Amino acid sequence: MITFGMVGSGGLGREMMYIAMPSLLQQFPGSTESDFRLVWVESEPQKSTVHDLPVLSVDDFIAEADDNTCLNIGIGDGYIRERLANQIEAEGIRPLQLMHPNSELRPGNDVGPGATISFQCLISTDITIGKYFMCMAYSMVVHDCVIGDYVTFATRVSCNGHVHIEDYVDAGNGAMIRNGSYEKPLRIGKGAKIGMGAVVAKDVPPGAVVVGNPAHILET
């Protein structure tokens, strides 16, 4: 029996949970649905079940875990994702990649542990992606991009070719990032936030918040 824990049963976690079964079936060839047990993991459980699946506390999940326990994290904030990942992985529980069967992953890619690729996404060729990348429905990452750890893409994000995205970057719905070039990749700095529908045509400094078409830095 393999146990899969989805950390967080909020909106994002519930959306991601339904990709878990097809991903498990694909990553454990020859298995059937009855080989897997799906559970929610919460810091402070409010309910005993969500969508008819049991909710465990983080401590109980860790206490029950064996070699056949894996997890993913359904939380949009990259920094919280990192904290929870470090806490749970320290107990020997490994991350599971979630990949919707309708998405396309082309050759020459290196996708890190714990990545989630939701419905109808495209990960084109020669892309490097770090840990716990979150790529929600209809998003795409095109050739020669480098994506850091704990990066979050909402739905319909377009990341064109030769773009380097550093750790913890958060891109809102429908954000568009122009392509860089082999000599000069377009760079989105660590922890930057890209607003909904923004059209990013040049580098974004670390920690900046950019919005609009063309995207400009939002002063706070």
Partner 1 sequence: MITFGMFGAGSTGRSQMHTAMDTLPERFGGLIDADLRLVFVETTPRDKDIQGLEVLSVEDFMALQGDDIYYNVSLAGPYKREEVADRLAATGHRPLTIFDTTTRLRYPNEFSEGALFSFSTMVSHDTKIGQFFHCLSFSMVPHNCTVSDFVTMTSRVNLGGFTEVGNHVFLGAGCLTKPGTPDRPLRIGDGATIGMGAAVLEDVPAGATVAGNPARILSK
Contact residues: partner 1, CB under 8 A: 104, 106-108, 120, 122, 124-126, 138, 140, 142-144, 156, 158, 160-161, 174, 176, 178-179, 199, 201, 213-214
Residue 135: its H or E element:
strand 134-135
Closest CA to 94 of 56, 118, 66, 75: 66
DSSP 206: T
The least CB distance from residue 143 to partner 1, in Å, is 3
CB of 198 vs partner 1, minimal distance in Å: 9
| CA dist., res. 81 & res. 57, Å (int) | 16
Q: Which of 107, 112, 76, 78 is nearest to 96 (CA)?
A: 112
Other beta carbons less than 10 A from residue 201's beta carbon: 13
Taking the least distance from each CB to partner 1, the nearer of 28 and 119 is 119
Distances (CA, A) of 128 to 60, 111, 124, 131, 170: 34, 6, 11, 10, 17
How far is the C-alpha of 155 from the C-alpha of 175, rounded, in Å?
A: 9
Active site positions, annotated: 143
- Least Å distance, CB 70 to partner 1, is 28
Which residue type is seen at 132? Y
Residue 161 Cβ, how far from partner 1 at the closest point, in Å? 5
